[in-house]
Structure 1
Amino acid sequence: MDLLACVGLTILESVALIPGRELGYLYAVKRFLVVLLLQYASLKLYRIIVYPRFFSPLRHLPGPKDHNLIFGQEVMKFRAENPVSVQLQWMQRWPKAPFIRYLSFAGREVLLVNSLAAHKAVLQTHVYDFVKPPFFARLVGEITGVGLLFAEGEAHKRERRLLAGPFSVPSMRKLLPVFQTKAKDLSDVFEKILGDKSFATLEAVETFSKSTMDTIGVTVLGIELDTLSSMYPLSFQELYRRVLHQDYLGSLISVINSFIPIRNIAPFEANRRFIQATTDLRSMLRDIIEQRAVDLADGTFQRKIGESRDLLTYMLEEAELRRKETGKEVWSTDDIIGHLLNFTSAGHESTAATLAWSLYILATNHSVQDRLRSEISTLLKETPDPDYDTISTLPYLHNFIREVLRLLPPSHMIQREATQDLTIENVRIPSGTQIDLAIPLIQQNPSVWGADAAVFDPDRWETPTTSSASPFAFEAFLQGPRMCPGRNFAVVLVKAALVELVPRWRFVGIESGGGVGGKLLEGGEERVGRGVRFANPSLTLRPRGELCVRFERMG
């Protein structure tokens, strides 16, 4: 846009300022290019350096001042210990500020939402006055698809209503047996690894990634993926791993592509692998959709009475029903692919990370582990095969999961862009301003959660303070109209896994490497940031590399 404006202005100036006598063609072209270059450079100099530092209405807000002239704070964020550690440092410096301002690439101003009132305004009061910025759509959309995640305004409201059924409480009651079956399969993996040894080591990240993908296969796609036992190198789960868990170069390409579109020209193997994996994923999903539509039409796709429909079957049946009623197509095949990518990537990656962090907490906090085991074991003695309502009566299990999600939320960053001029908490926000919601900031803010905000304590949920009782103090699934529709799905899946695993296995600690005989991390080395590190950059808050958990069979 800036370049087009400069071209237009240069043309006008050339016409107005050229003397009446004819000039040579070459001279005219040179003059045009020189003027265009000078004007474009001047405009960029103003936008990148002058405006944000001397004229922006946001320049007086609290925030870091050590900006790189070109990259702002992006290099610091990219090199940080985890994807939000730099933002957490800012929050600790200005814990009560409604917004923290910093500069991003090319002098772009960003407001980091910091206070409860500001969170409520962005997520509820003015929720549809913000949209996802184009760079965020490029960064995330090519991985998770478009679907509900990128729907805006009335389209978002309509899509959310249409997709509410599969994630309702009645549907969760029907899905719990599926979760329990997959949890037993997961426990069998522990059994196979341990064998006749007294203890063994399990790599939690990959194990839970495969397990949750199997569950997603049944509940979202309606098929058995069998990735826990699959030996095929390009299984559905492996393709997703290539997309979501890129190496350093692949992650760097994705970040650069979000600002400068280089995806189709970057001549690197990491880029080619990413493009091929996303292409294959979409092809797989298209084949599954087309075959399911045929099976539903001729009656060959059957499910047991009382079973909940998987998401794909639900969408195809609802689309056909509404087409007959209104004569209009609700979802095209590409629309359905977008929704399936949304829910598969979100449900798979975030739930796997939550389970991995849950095992980490249990292995490094034995008193919490013992208390959780006692609660679950007491229930199982009375009700060996608990249903949805019975599992929901376990308060410590519920609080444990909430506390894991508070300190280690898988989805750590949401980005928006103002579509109009707004005033929030006495801060005037110009149209086009980027807004960042770093979820750990509000969930670890001492002015909201108290001085022990960084301490893992499930009991804090029993006696919340006025501020921590606010729904906007806990945003692991967001809040307001854009709250994650699959939140119950994720929580029930994690509960089913822990109810199966915790009574059967004791998690001893974290090892420095895989396999029996790895060094058990002790004396603080097991803490996150030391022996266990975060992946960065990463769309989810997950361990970097392996998370090796030593475990043994309960007596």
Structure 2
Amino acid sequence: METLSLLIIRTVCAMAVVAALSTLFRLYNSTWKSSERLRKRLNMQGIGGPPPSLLYGNVPEMQRIQTRAALDDKASACSRQRGGGEFVAHDYTSTLFPYFEQWRKEYGPVYTYSTGARQHLYINQPELVKELNQCFTLLGKPSYLTKRLAPMLGNGILRSNGPSWAQQRKIVAPEFFMDKVKGMVGLMGESAQQLLRSWDERIEAAAAEGGKAAADIRVDEDLREFSADVISRACFGSSYSKGKEIFSKLRSLQMIISKQSFLFGHNFFGFLPAKKSREVNNLEKEIESLIWKVIEERERECSDKDLMQMIMEGAVYSDQGLDKDLFRRQFIVDNCKNIYFAGHEATAVAASWCLMLLALHPEWQQRVREEVRRVFGGGNILDPESLTQLKTVTMVIQEALRLYPPAAFVSREALEDTKVGNIIVPKNVCIWTLIPTLHRDPDIWWPDANKFKPERFVDGVSKACKYPQAYIPFGLGPRLCLGRNFAMVQLKVVLSLIVSRYSFCLSPKYQHCPAYRMIVEPKHGVHLLIQKIQAGPGSLVTNIPSATL
């Protein structure tokens, strides 16, 4: 009996060892051998890169470089700005993404690196970036990246690939064509008026309390509310006050997800602790419930068609193993989440960077102010056709988007073996293009690439740099940001109103520290000292009556 028991124990142990070895072998194949095969295919084409470690690839090196950069550059990257007298370093890539910058210097603008199970191809060569435009059917959003963004974006247009993406684009894109956007200028002005009234009250309160001519205001949070109100009213027929809870919870979700190391893309990194994971799940459910409540209200109202109505009508059922009603609900909610987030967050951040740069450069404030007065006189600043005459405003926006593009990357995954220029990109390789590096390359933008010089855009993007395809603040190709017209018009409206009404400079509270939280935003906000301009003869009327809107 003892012999039989011992035999059984030995057999079980042997089976356990075999199972463990089998698991390790599969892990080895999935994390090392598959990545190694892809790397060799790229190496054979003359593409080099940092040597990877077993299993983890270049992740340990990325972490070491990031830690060292944080220690070395803390003082310069997060310098305190005092009254505009201290230089603000606009080149933040070596602090936020130091591994990409170090490898670019070592291996050139095209190199490959590994994050364990995944092989990546870094491309920052203008001609190859241009070629990426031609490969849209064979390139999609990286699956591992979109999986980690799923609680935030569902399977909406920002995450989906293939036929699902094409269907959603067909619904959403027409709502952001320029003729539609021009019709939204009035409500953009109405939303801006709420912002301006709030600032007026704070300036008056500062004067009453301490006799100060200027109020110290953190403008980025106010601009988020403004932008959220615009997207709510333009696309969903409701105001920011109605969707305030949605935006607040989306922001909370964004902050949690951005703490994951999803850029590293390794199976063993990026997972949240159990407590945070539960928090993400709860926020996701709460957001979906709030959005569905808004949808049900819209269905009862039967009002004029807006983007939400178009999404509701476009939720055509396709057999994906889901109940028909569940599919429709998920389709609508996911796309609403995408538009609620993407439609306001990036625009608000872009406006914040614009104001920061104008605060640093009062001479450009004055040039914008003079142009607005010249174009509109004392009349209706929100005439949609006249907005196209704001050349100086456009130049300032374009230069701000060059130095501080909200989206830091263009990321793609090869769905099949794909030719990009003279490179055959193997299936499953993820492609990365670092936008701020392209936007500051002195070989493309000349030696003053790190300086704020809106005049470089005086003759448009085509003459601003050596390779126009290297200017991609809204991405590139068919997946170019659908809301770019909407964002540009909104930025023109709010900046024109603010600069014509106020003068401002950086507050002593302002701390220049760009941070990557899914988009590049000011980590500590944008604090400005703002005061009202006294309207003189022939100047633009700053207290614009609502009738002109």
Matching residue of 1:61: 47
Task: Measure the CA separation in 1 of the matches of 2:283 and 2:167.
Answer: 31
Task: Measure the CA separation in 1 of the matches of 2:144 and 2:30.
Answer: 18
Matching residue of 1:202: 217
1:209-288 equivalent positions in 2, closer than 5 A: 209-226=224-241, 235-246=245-256, 251-252=259-260, 259=267, 266-268=273-275, 270-288=276-294
Task: Measure the CA separation in 2 of the matches of 1:51 and 1:503.
Answer: 59
Q: 1:385 to 1:287 in 2, by over 3 A?
A: same
1:69-468 equivalent positions in 2, closer than 5 A: 70=56, 71-76=59-64, 79=67, 83-91=96-104, 97=109, 99-104=110-115, 106=116, 108-122=118-132, 124-195=133-204, 196=207, 197-226=212-241, 235-246=245-256, 251-252=259-260, 259=267, 266-268=273-275, 270-296=276-302, 301=303, 309-316=305-312, 332-381=328-377, 383-463=379-459, 468=465
Task: Measure the CA separation in 1 of the matches of 2:385 and 2:65.
Answer: 43
Matching residue of 1:544: 523
Correspondence 1:31 to 2:14: yes
User: AA paired with 1:235?
Assistant: E
Per-residue deviation at 1:84? 3.5
Contact 1:533 1:543 in 2 (8 A): yes
Contact 1:102 1:111 in 2 (8 A): yes
User: AA paired with 1:437?
Assistant: T
Per-residue deviation at 1:420? 1.8
Per-residue deviation at 1:450? 2.1
SS in structure 1 opposite 2:375?
helix
Task: Measure the CA separation in 2 of the matches of 1:262 and 1:374.
Answer: 49
Q: 1:352 to 1:192 in 2, by over 3 A?
A: same
Give the stretch that moved more between structures: 69-78 or 274-283. Answer: 69-78
Give TM-score, length-normalised by structure 2: 0.79
Q: How many residues align?
A: 487
Task: Measure the CA separation in 1 of the matches of 2:167 and 2:36.
Answer: 42
Task: Measure the CA separation in 2 of the matches of 1:477 and 1:125.
Answer: 17
For residue 500 of structure 1, the aligned residue among 493, 497, 504 is 497
Residues 4-53 of structure 1, C-alpha deviations (whole Å, 9 max, x = no match): xxxxxxxxxxxxxxxxxxx9443333223323433543564576567767
Q: 1:392 to 1:143 in 2, by over 3 A?
A: same
Task: Measure the CA separation in 2 of the matches of 1:222 and 1:369.
Answer: 34
Q: 1:544 to 1:129 in 2, by over 3 A?
A: same
Q: 1:356 to 1:217 in 2, by over 3 A?
A: same
Task: Measure the CA separation in 1 of the matches of 2:235 and 2:65.
Answer: 34
Per-residue deviation at 1:262? 8.7
SS in structure 2 opposite 1:148?
coil
Residues 314-340 of structure 1, C-alpha deviations (whole Å, 9 max, x = no match): 3335669xxxxxxx99x8221111111
Contact 1:448 1:467 in 2 (8 A): no
Task: Measure the CA separation in 2 of the matches of 1:202 and 1:252.
Answer: 31
Task: Measure the CA separation in 2 of the matches of 1:397 and 1:142.
Answer: 37
Matching residue of 2:542: none
Matching residue of 2:78: none
Contact 1:73 1:102 in 2 (8 A): no
Contact 2:31 2:55 in 1 (8 A): yes
Task: Measure the CA separation in 1 of the matches of 2:428 and 2:488.
Answer: 35
Per-residue deviation at 1:198? 0.8
- Root mean square deviation of aligned Cα: 3.4
SS in structure 1 opposite 2:528?
strand
Contact 1:471 1:479 in 2 (8 A): no
SS in structure 2 opposite 1:163?
helix
Per-residue deviation at 1:377? 2.2
User: AA paired with 2:239?
Assistant: E
Task: Measure the CA separation in 2 of the matches of 1:258 and 1:178.
Answer: 45
Task: Measure the CA separation in 1 of the matches of 2:307 and 2:395.
Answer: 28
Give TM-score, length-normalised by structure 1: 0.79
Task: Measure the CA separation in 1 of the matches of 2:407 and 2:501.
Answer: 30
Task: Measure the CA separation in 2 of the matches of 1:341 and 1:465.
Answer: 35
Task: Measure the CA separation in 2 of the matches of 1:63 and 1:158.
Answer: 38
Q: 1:62 to 1:199 in 2, by over 3 A?
A: farther
Contact 2:192 2:494 in 1 (8 A): yes
Q: 1:76 to 1:388 in 2, by over 3 A?
A: farther
Residues 443-468 of structure 1, C-alpha deviations (whole Å, 9 max, x = no match): 22222222222222111123566793
Task: Measure the CA separation in 2 of the matches of 1:237 and 1:417.
Answer: 30
Per-residue deviation at 1:92? 5.2
Task: Measure the CA separation in 2 of the matches of 1:257 and 1:422.
Answer: 21
Unaligned runs of 5+ in 2: 1-5, 71-94, 317-323, 535-549
User: AA paired with 1:171?
Assistant: K
User: AA paired with 1:155?
Assistant: S
Task: Measure the CA separation in 2 of the matches of 1:236 and 1:362.
Answer: 31
Unaligned runs of 5+ in 1: 1-22, 304-308, 321-327, 514-530
Identity %: 22
Q: 1:189 to 1:88 in 2, by over 3 A?
A: farther
